[in-house]
Chain A
Amino acid sequence: MKPPASGRAARPGASRPAEARAPGPASAARGRGMNAAVVLGPLSAAVVLLALMPALLPTASLLNLQSALGLALFACATNLLVGYGGLVSFGQGAFYGIGAYVIALAWLHWQAPFWASFIVAPFAGAAMALLVGLVALRARRLYFALLTLAFSQLFYVVVLQQTGFTGGANGVFGTILPPLLSDPGHAYYFTLTVAVLGLLILWRITRSPFGMTLRAIRENRERAEALGVNVFAHQLMAFVIAGGFCALAGTLFVVLDQSANPDLLNWTQSGYPIFMAVLGGQFVFLGPALGALIYEQGRDVVLASFSDWQLVFGLLLLIVVLFSPDGVAGLLVRGRDIARRRLRSLRR
């Protein structure tokens, strides 16, 4: 049925290993952007720095940082699908919102203790992701994106409509948090801890055999299938994991804002983690976290002087996407590589 593989002129001889990489397994890890030793050092430093923030920053900036941490978890969880899995889901806001609403509604209707709802929320998100994934993952590429968008909107309109149960457009607000978390410092530390732990687990997953298989599926779905991998099952699992962690990020929203509102489930909300991932860099694990930080801090800075945050963010996205496909993190990695090479040549 298919003609022989013509049209592709064979290059004589073997490939030249000249891609600035030494052969061998270590370089394979480097090729992925980060290996454990490289990451954990600066990362621990970053965590320590973040832990000191309450002493250094005014409350407003602290809240900002807290928001960024929650968004970082949201974005990195989404990137498990987008960057690692190649699945552009425009519906992660649904799970983010579910996480927030589980806590808010449990408090509102049954006076459930925060800690109980907090435990339940990620599992609720994961369970919902299972249901959505079973339907959505049957479609490919753009249709998958549209399906997830439709689900996000479906949840949005249902929550909006069920005013009696969900509070409708006004959402739910009140003293949802337990006394322990009412203190801004405590709330910050709680968010920091949850975010860091969540990110660590996600990171572990991306660097596991499952993560490697997910990437292979992203690169070539049919080839992975032909190797004996059940592609649908693996993608569904990734979707469920992402849903759970997005819901966890949603609970952190409640910690920040003591509220839940329907807009969390809207498609525009679902777009944010994707754009943060693209901005920060999809192919580096912490890229989306960087994107979240840039978004949150950038918004703060820009809104202080003039109100055109949308314009700035839009232009930023455009520039990054057009000129640095692997995001800001990609820029940094390349910059570091160039600097290293210069240093090496200087030493000779």
Chain B
Amino acid sequence: MTGPNVIVTFLSAMTEASSLFIAAAGLTLVFGAMRIINIAHGSFFAYGAFLVTTLVGASAGGSFWLALAVAGLAVGAMGAAVEVTVLRRVYRRDHLVQLVVTYALFLILADVALHLWGTQARSVRPPSMLSGSVAIGSRSFPAYDLFAIGAAIVTGLAMWALLQRTALGWRIRAAVEDPELLAASGTNVPLLYTTVFSIGGLLAGLAGAIGSPLQSISPGLDASVLVSAFIVAVIGGLGSVAGAAIGAVIISLFDTAGVLWAPGWEPAFIYLAMIAVLALRPSGLLGTAER
């Protein structure tokens, strides 16, 4: 393969990795800090994407950036609302109950989405300033895809800064790695949980919004994104945002390589990888060990 081809292939994989990373980051954060598997996480992603289609419509406009911000924040608010009204009641119950609750939310959100946005697939065109392409050697690469990669990098850095440099971040890390320390520190834990869950929602909504020009948006998006996000989060290590980044890169490279050399088998290999990780090293590449 020639130079530009390699680069373009690599960048395509990275584009795929981008929204996957942002989605998985939210999922892994919530699991790490709260030990909850949020089945509705994919629904948050889908809502982010759908909201952008509504706010922007099929025509590209300057309001795309506004739509991104609104979508992210709206879904973040949704997350907070869900946590306060429903999730809070089931923290002391066993994991199955929590699973059922988030699954019930998944069902409810899916149904409401059908009412709000119908069954037809929707699409969004990238904003005009990013609708062109960039030349790489003799090949061209969509400008928006570059933006998506950039957005993922920025989000990753923002997450790093949040976790490593702020008091909130310290508390979140304590919740993931040393809950006893957290309890002893006098933190308002319920408020922390609400915050973490809404950050998870915000990230999911943002991922959906950023990814919206890159894919067709239709019912079923919630379920498929959920599984993908899980795979990435598990392989990277549940609880680790950096792990989610690595996992996203690995999975998308895998996927791309698979398409080239063993088409049709990528999903199977990916699930085998997930199984291998869970069976041999459940904490994944960078995650914390099971408490």
Question: A residues within 8 Å of B by Cβ?
Answer: 82, 88, 135-136, 138-143, 145-147, 149-151, 153-154, 157-158, 161, 267-268, 271, 274-275, 278, 308, 310-311, 313-315, 317-318, 321-322, 325
Contact = CB atoms under 8 A, between A and B. Distances in A.
Interface residues of B, number: 40
Interface string B86-109: 100110010111011101111110
B282 A321 contact: no
B279 interface: yes
Contacts of A140: 290
Contacts of B231: 150
Contacts of B99: 88, 145, 274
B95 to A, nearest CB: 6
A271 B103 contact: yes
Given A139-B279, A153-B227, A274-B100, A146 B234 contact: yes
Provide the main secondary structure of the chain A interface: helix
Contacts of A135: 275, 279
B275 A139 contact: no
Given A274-B100, A308-B111, A150 B271 contact: yes
A139 B278 contact: yes
A142 B37 contact: yes
A236 B114 CA distance: 41
Given A278-B96, A325-B97, A143 B275 contact: no
Contacts of B274: 146, 150
Contacts of B221: none
A318 B275 contact: no
A146 B31 CA distance: 12
Nearest to B267: A157
B55 interface: no
A311 B96 contact: no
B265 interface: yes
7 closest A-B pairs by beta carbon, nearest first, are A314-B107, A311-B111, A314-B108, A157-B267, A154-B271, A317-B104, A310-B111
A325 B93 contact: yes
A311 B108 CA distance: 5
B110 interface: yes
Given A136-B279, A311-B112, A153 B271 contact: yes
Contact of A322 (B89, B234, B264): B89
Contacts of B272: 154
Interface in B256-291: 264-265, 267-268, 271-272, 274-275, 278-279, 282, 290
14 contacts: A82-B96, A139-B279, A150-B278, A153-B271, A158-B268, A161-B264, A161-B268, A278-B96, A308-B115, A310-B107, A314-B107, A318-B86, A318-B104, A322-B90
Contact of A321 (B104, B111, B265): B104
A145 B31 CA distance: 14
A141 B278 contact: no
